[in-house]
Structure 1
């Protein structure tokens, strides 16, 4: 590893924005972008569509919907033990690598852990696979089926354990644009018709992370993945070793973009749960510490949609609907200049047109300091 360049916050911001495809919209296919981003966090069904809209020129939501329907993309629990939308190929790489995160959750961190003490998880996974052989089941249906073998265990805990012990994808019509459906599960290998990687390379995962989120520290990589023990992997790779203003070592791919810190960037709307806000231990490259605390205060785990001005989070947004009307409310947490505010209204109008094309009336409302 070579290099001693010091990167300040703006340099890290511009590098991250470039890799996140937020400095300018691209014309790449939706699945290519999903792959580049190493998946998109997707606890709620539709934020990935908004995340692609803000990154891809003229994004058509049916492109992603069709990929889910024909099994080229899936939703599955992965990094940090959270639901991600990923390509079918990435399930095979990522799920085996992050399995220790899910195992740890089942043993210690889960709200269901107390109901799983002493449970044979291998036996549970086998029983779950048998229950799903006839077709997809909801969590309630799967829990009820498993409770027939473990009647002394809470069905909800059994279903949760099955999702962690066995790679289960969430099947359509859940998360298909313009449709609704309950969350139902199938084993990933059954649904995709392919086995997961038997010996996935953690260095490949690290390189993919750096291409989408770098430059980054080992702590950043741990925050994104939920995995420990990655320092040896990182240090064995042929990476640049840079530094931030606090002297921490930042690792990076030699050929990855690191734009001029003064590169002008457009305003951007990010969806709920966007990974760019969740994938670094130190998030000041995109949000100040004061606003980070506000973002995560008393929201029961929900990360709202946010907007960027000059590359940094300045507030949140939400869309509300009433009959045939749709309203985008932009709530600023800090003063925004007149030109940037006008740009946000223009971009917000486009966002409303994407989100609610059927609305008879659309309005953008500004709330907060001028």
Structure 2
């Protein structure tokens, strides 16, 4: 059985994720495909993740593929997370990861509506709200959430859940119902009414946004397509890595691995990983490289087991809920994070000793990112402990 060491895993990461300057990717579509999907929970992450991988990237280049060409599309999917998908991968998600989330969310929302006293039949209530929203969007076209709340009575109310408990409260209905329709693939976040670092989408029907829609793949085929793309990006990985990333079951993962004819390999630490059958050969190392990645970057969030590139820095770089803050990379390993000063200048904060060559290349990346941001300070709701550390 082939053995793939942590050193080689870092070499694969450097080559395939477009992070080494000599291996950056030609455009936003290529960079997104290289990563399978991009995290989009925070809108700025999409732009910053692409900037890290594409030389000469402009904000307009990302806007074009998202809103004009629509070759990249936002879709709620794995682990109830918003991602940017290559358009051709959407049917795989609709039939598998998104469908799984949609089932769970609809059951929860229907139950909470009954508990809150909004209805005696949660499923029927939700069906009416969904139908009213879709009918209004079909007639009125793209609308913001605020506009929909004003124009669709079913979206105007609030949901009181678990009152008196830390996780409870009174929440507006509109985000829950719009999120349900989005994960089902009926509606999509269209043109952004705000700036690139904010999220004010105009919701629109998916069929209006993309035209003729392909059918969702059957569940098994959908998971197999996602697993095949993931292995090309992140392989080798373990069953546990895939189960976490997909938000699925071990059974679904094992079936998908069999479908793509994945090959077992051994990893450092004695664990078993998987690669695509055409990906068994050794991957040589690149020249040492540096990179600065944003909050929730897909590279940082690609695996559940991260020791081969985090080297024990996880508690400093992730919040308590497992959300990654910014990261600074040297030669395939995370060595710190980055922040901005009051003037928007990017500063690297190291968590370990880095050779002079690495510090110099990290400074090059800091200057590159500072110039691209042009004084714009990008905030986040997921700052890591290292980012919050006073200096």
Tell me the TM-score normalized by structure 1.
0.82
Query: Matches of 2:129 and 2:388 in 1, distance apart?
Result: 50
> Aligned with 1:76: secondary structure?
strand
Q: Is the 8 A contact 2:150 2:156 kept in 1?
A: no
Q: Is the 8 A contact 1:124 1:162 kept in 2?
A: no
User: Residues 183-262 of structure 1 correspond to what in structure 2 (within 5 A)?
Assistant: 183-200=201-218, 201-202=221-222, 203-228=224-249, 229-256=252-279, 260=283
Q: Which residue of 126, 131, 153 maps to 1:126?
A: 131
Q: 1:330 to 1:26 in 2, by over 3 A?
A: closer
Query: Matches of 1:148 and 1:340 in 2, distance apart?
Result: 56
Tell me the TM-score normalized by structure 2.
0.78
User: Residues 72-91 of structure 1 correspond to what in structure 2 (within 5 A)?
Assistant: 72-91=71-90
Q: Is the 8 A contact 1:116 1:158 kept in 2?
A: no
- Residue 47 of structure 1 and its aligned partner are, at CA, apart by 1.8
1:337 matches 2:355: yes
Q: Which residue of 146, 154, 163 maps to 1:148?
A: 154
Q: How many residues are paired up? A: 351
Q: Is the 8 A contact 1:103 1:164 kept in 2?
A: no
Please, which moves more after superposition, 136-145 or 261-270? 136-145
Q: 1:191 to 1:320 in 2, by over 3 A?
A: farther
Counterpart in 2 of 1:363? none
Query: Matches of 1:308 and 1:321 in 2, distance apart?
Result: 23
Query: Normalized per residue, which structure has more helix?
Result: 2
**CA displacement 1:34-74 (0-9 Å, x = unmatched):** 12322210112122222122212333332211112212322
Counterpart in 1 of 2:144? 138
- Residue 175 of structure 1 and its aligned partner are, at CA, apart by 7.2
Query: Matches of 1:175 and 1:320 in 2, distance apart?
Result: 24
**RMSD across aligned positions (CA):** 3.2
> Aligned with 1:230: secondary structure?
helix
- Residue 163 of structure 1 and its aligned partner are, at CA, apart by 1.6
Query: Matches of 1:20 and 1:27 in 2, distance apart?
Result: 9
Query: Matches of 1:321 and 1:37 in 2, distance apart?
Result: 32
Q: Is the 8 A contact 1:25 1:57 kept in 2?
A: no
Segments of 5+ residues of structure 1 without an aligned counterpart are 360-365
> Aligned with 1:171: secondary structure?
strand
**CA displacement 1:174-229 (0-9 Å, x = unmatched):** 5764x866233223222111324232523222111111111111211122121222
Counterpart in 2 of 1:352? 370
Q: Is the 8 A contact 1:39 1:86 kept in 2?
A: yes
Counterpart in 2 of 1:103? 103
Segments of 5+ residues of structure 2 without an aligned counterpart are 116-120, 161-170, 378-386
Q: 1:215 to 1:180 in 2, by over 3 A?
A: closer
